[in-house]
Every structure is written in C-alpha cells, then in structure tokens.
Chain A
C-alpha cells in the first residue's frame, strides 16, 4: 500500500529565505507526482506535476524534483514571500489506479 510522508509538518521562515519541502513515498511504481497548495479553508491549487520519466519541473520561483528510485520529491521555493504562506501537499498517482495518494502536508509560514 502506497504511503506518502511529508516532513516537516510545519515550517516557519523569514521572508526572502530559500526553502525546501520534502515528500517521500513507499512504492516507487508511480505514474506521476503532483504538488498542491492549500490556503486555510480553501480548495487545492495545482502547482507542479512531474511525470515519472522527468527529473524536475519549474514554475516561476518553484522547482520540484523527483527521484523515483529513492521515493523522494522536493519542492524548492526561492526568495520566499509572506504570500507563500499556505499548506503544501504532495500526491502520487500510480499506473492502473485512479487514486491519488496524498501526504498530510507541510504548513509553511513566511514571516515578514
């Protein structure tokens, strides 16, 4: 059974700092991995999707990497801003299954 773990559960950083969020999964037979952002009381917003054949994806200040063999992904946020404060979730999709398996998220606070 696939399990997704995100460490740390919470992170607080000063504005301007570069930071890394971690995601690990137990079964490396994934189809893709997605990173989402969730603001309090809101739905999820898709940030990046990495196919299993890819190593990384970039969007603006965000860079997500994937090491399928070791079961790890990282989300790198450059020059963090208070507006980046949210919970970040990763989820994996496995071939043959319609299910996304989610981690519990990392709550990020960027202090001005």
Chain B
C-alpha cells in the first residue's frame, strides 16, 4: 500500500534530550513537510524539503533540525533547544510542492516529562 508512515506513534522525552521522529513515504513524492499541531491552533510549518539534500525553514524552525538524504525519508529531530516541544507532529508529502494535494501521515505525539 502506498502512503506515509510515522514512528513512533507516542514518544516521551526527558528535558534536555534530543529525539528523532521518523517519516517515510513510498508515494515517490518530491516534497515533504513537517508540521506541529497544538490544541486550539492551526498547523504550523516547521521545515519542508522540495528535493533530496535540500530543505528550508518554515515558520517555527527554532529548536528543530531535519535531513533529507533519501527521497522517501525526512526525519525530524527535536533538540533540547526547543523550549516547549510537547505537541502532535505531522509529516506530509506532495508530488512537487504546496500547490499539489498534501498527504499526511498518522502523526507522532511527543510528550516531555
């Protein structure tokens, strides 16, 4: 089946730790995105990548880092510099960019203990 997978579904982090969220797609899409969703707020863009080995900051990139070494993979690292990381993280992909339909993964819920 084609789609986007995210792992883990739930993640717990102690303060001061870095954690990495996985996002994999087998849709052969060029563009991939990471969003953060907080209660009562819309989705906010963290990072996006339009092509392998290239990525751009979104609106709230501080405290996060990404890599795009393979077309199908776009992992997100939440670093200890992110002051309020508890949130629901969503990965998405599209054929070529935001002008195309975006397909979303099931999300990862990160909780800082």
In the bound complex, do residue B43 and residue A98 qualify as a contact, i.e. CB atoms below 8 Å apart?
no
Which chain A residues (15-38) contact chain B, with CB distance < 8 Å?
31-32, 34, 36
In the bound complex, do residue B42 and residue A42 qualify as a contact, i.e. CB atoms below 8 Å apart?
no
Total B residues in contact with A, Cβ cutoff 8 Å: 28
The 8 A CB mask of B86-113 against A (1 = contact, 0 = none) is: 0010101000011101111111010000
B41 within 8 A of A: yes
Please name all residues of chain B whose beta carbon is closer than 8 Å to the beta carbon of A44 when the two chains form the complex. Answer: 43, 90, 92, 102, 104
- Distance of A32 Cα from B107 Cα, bound (Å): 24
Total A residues in contact with B, Cβ cutoff 8 Å: 25
B48 within 8 A of A: yes
In the bound complex, do residue B42 and residue A102 qualify as a contact, i.e. CB atoms below 8 Å apart?
yes
Binding site for A on B (CB under 8 A): 4, 6, 31, 40-45, 48, 50, 56, 58-59, 88, 90, 92, 97-99, 101-107, 109
